[in-house]
Structure 1
Amino acid sequence: MDLLQLRYFQVVARYEHISRAAEELRVAQPSLSRTIARLEADLGSPLFDRQGRRIRLNQYGAMFLRHVDRALSELDDGRRALRDARDTGLGRVSVASETLLTVTHALGSFRATHPRADVRLFQSTAEEMDRQLRAGEVDFCVASQPLAGAGLESIELAREEVLLAVPCGHWLDGQERVTIPEIADEPFVTTRVGHWQRTLLDRLFASEGLTPVLSCEGDEPGASQDMISAGLGIGLIPAMSRQAGTDTVVPVAWVHLAAPNCHRVLTLVGNPDAYLSEAALKFREFITSRPFMTHRLPDPRRGRRRPLP
């Protein structure tokens, strides 16, 4: 049994699919299959149930995977600890977020305060963030929806209302408040399944027994306001994310949604068992000890911003 076998097993166990695992590992499928077979022979027990081309992690494989995950995580933490000890700076902190605009201001302020810290940023879906935390690829995630995995710790950073953005001149322009049934036939600009905006949109419509009409599905929430302004549809936009971009406000009109729990909760999520560099520790203290961003809500009647009272 060697380290390469364990890492290959970990990826195959995650996908339960040889070809997908081979693609990620960038190895030939026959070579990967032989590696897994040798590992099973060394252990004296099959780790997967095979049904034709399909494989499923069996009870022995699941048991072994828990130990492999811990062992490889410890080795990766040891590697990071040595690197940080040699480093003349503070080490590295890696952060994932569903949209980069959400964390731009916070990371910029942190870099200004701790210029010796090596900061890495990733854009990921909620599913990807959960995997990245468990694999030790990131130290923290700034999440806009709960991450599914157990054993993770989260700290609330901010809570804000989510508003409905509509093109200027739209029939909703100038209205104070609208219900979901009133906009049931309106085309929506939104994100793909897995992003929090899509999760919120589907939940709000499902609570009324409706399904939203979609005109655009994308991976970058920050582009939604531009598409709404261009007349491609209406959409859900959080006030905080809108202010995280440039000072130029894309002209749209804003309307409150008369729907329960129409808000976003930002949380800092981490793995309590993972090693944290000095930079990561300072980042956690920095981001949780002060307001995450300036809290402002747009005037729902116009495309201008106003401070909260």
Structure 2
Amino acid sequence: MDLLQLRYFQTVARYEHISRAAEELRIAQPSLSRTIARLEGELGCPLFDRQGRRIRLNAYGAMFLRHVDRALSELEDGRRALGDARDTGLGRVGVASETLLTITHLLGSFRAAYPRADVRLHQSDAEEMERRLRAGEVDFCVASQPLAGPQFDAVELLREEVLLAVPLGHRLDGRERVAIRELVDEPFVTTRPGNWQRTLLDRLFAAEGLTPTLSCEGDEPGATQDMISAGLGIGLIPAMSRRLGTQSLVPVGWVRVDAPDCSRTLSLVWSRDTYLSEAALRFREFTTSRPFMTHRLPDPHHGRR
């Protein structure tokens, strides 16, 4: 078997779909099918169960994939280590986050402190972040919910209250607190399953034996406040948004939710077995050495009068 076969197998295993994998790899579908068939012939067992046009990774394939992931990750680590060794800069650091707004100031201040670092940012939900970490596609995830994996290490960056945001003039605007049962008929603006806002909303309602009414599901948690302000519904917003002053640009009313643990914990997560460039090591130290909310870009107008 050769390296190309292993990369093809890894991609097909991820999609469990030959045509989608062929599209990403930019090769013809019949050629990809023949490559997988040759690999299975060399290994002496099928790696996929085939049902018409659909394929599913079987037990043999799942076992083999774990070893392929580790092998390709080691090779990628070696390539990056060589690149860092000959590079005059600090190397590359890849970061994934559920919402880009959460880490905009952090990455901006890091780039200002280390201009030679090559920073790459990816927006991903929790499932995609886990996959990217395991595959070595990113060095760190800034996650608002736990990522599963015994090989992952994590440092808590921030624990904050999550508030209910309502349009100005809404019946709850001006209330100090509200119970979940009072929200049963209210339309919620939230994210798709897999993002922390949706996970928290479903958990809070499930604890009361209820199901939330949804008016909008999106992929960008940072857009929720804009839609609430426009009157499309109500939603859960981290207290960070209120402290950063976004309400002056996107006005909403803020209400505390009378429910236990209506909060989120923001963590920096990485794989302990993956090579970290000098840029990645400095990013970890930079991120964890001070309170998260202090990672702000300086005001360019400060001192100008």
Q: TM above 0.5, one fold?
A: yes
TM-score, normalized by length of structure 1?
0.90
Secondary structure in 1 matching 2:265: strand
The question of 1:275 aligning with 2:300 is answered: no
Instruction: State the distance in 2 between where 1:118 and 1:234 align.
Output: 39
- Root-mean-square deviation (CA), in Å? 1.8
Matches within 5 A, 1:252-291: 252-291=252-291
CA separation of 1:221 and 1:56: change in aligned 2, threshold 3 A: closer
Aligned residue in 1 for 2:193: 193
How many Å apart are 1:157 and its aligned residue? Answer: 0.6
Q: Is the 8 A contact 1:222 1:241 kept in 2?
A: no
CA separation of 1:230 and 1:60: change in aligned 2, threshold 3 A: closer
* Aligned structure 1 segments of 4 or more residues deviating by more than 6 angstroms: none
Letter in 1 for 2:135: A
Instruction: State the distance in 2 between where 1:230 and 1:17 align.
Output: 40
Secondary structure in 2 matching 1:146: coil
Instruction: State the distance in 2 between where 1:87 and 1:273 align.
Output: 23
How many Å apart are 1:87 and its aligned residue? Answer: 1.2
Matches within 5 A, 1:220-231: 220-231=220-231
How many Å apart are 1:151 and its aligned residue? Answer: 2.2
Aligned residue in 2 for 1:240: 240
Instruction: State the distance in 1 between where 2:242 and 2:191 align.
Output: 15
CA separation of 1:180 and 1:170: change in aligned 2, threshold 3 A: same
**Unaligned stretches of 5+ in structure 1?**
296-309
Matches within 5 A, 1:98-177: 98-177=98-177
Aligned length: 295
Q: Is the 8 A contact 1:186 1:213 kept in 2?
A: yes
Instruction: State the distance in 2 between where 1:244 and 1:173 align.
Output: 20
Identity %: 81
What are the Cα deviations for residues 83-125 of structure 1, in whole angstroms up to 9, with x where unaligned? 1112111111110100011001111111111111111111111
What are the Cα deviations for residues 230-282 of structure 1, in whole angstroms up to 9, with x where unaligned? 11111101011455586844211110000111000001111111110000000
Matches within 5 A, 1:22-171: 22-171=22-171
CA separation of 1:231 and 1:74: change in aligned 2, threshold 3 A: same
Letter in 1 for 2:207: S
TM-score, normalized by length of structure 2?
0.92
Letter in 2 for 1:157: L
How many Å apart are 1:229 and its aligned residue? Answer: 1.3
Q: Is the 8 A contact 2:192 2:218 kept in 1?
A: yes
Letter in 1 for 2:69: D
Instruction: State the distance in 2 between where 1:74 and 1:245 align.
Output: 44
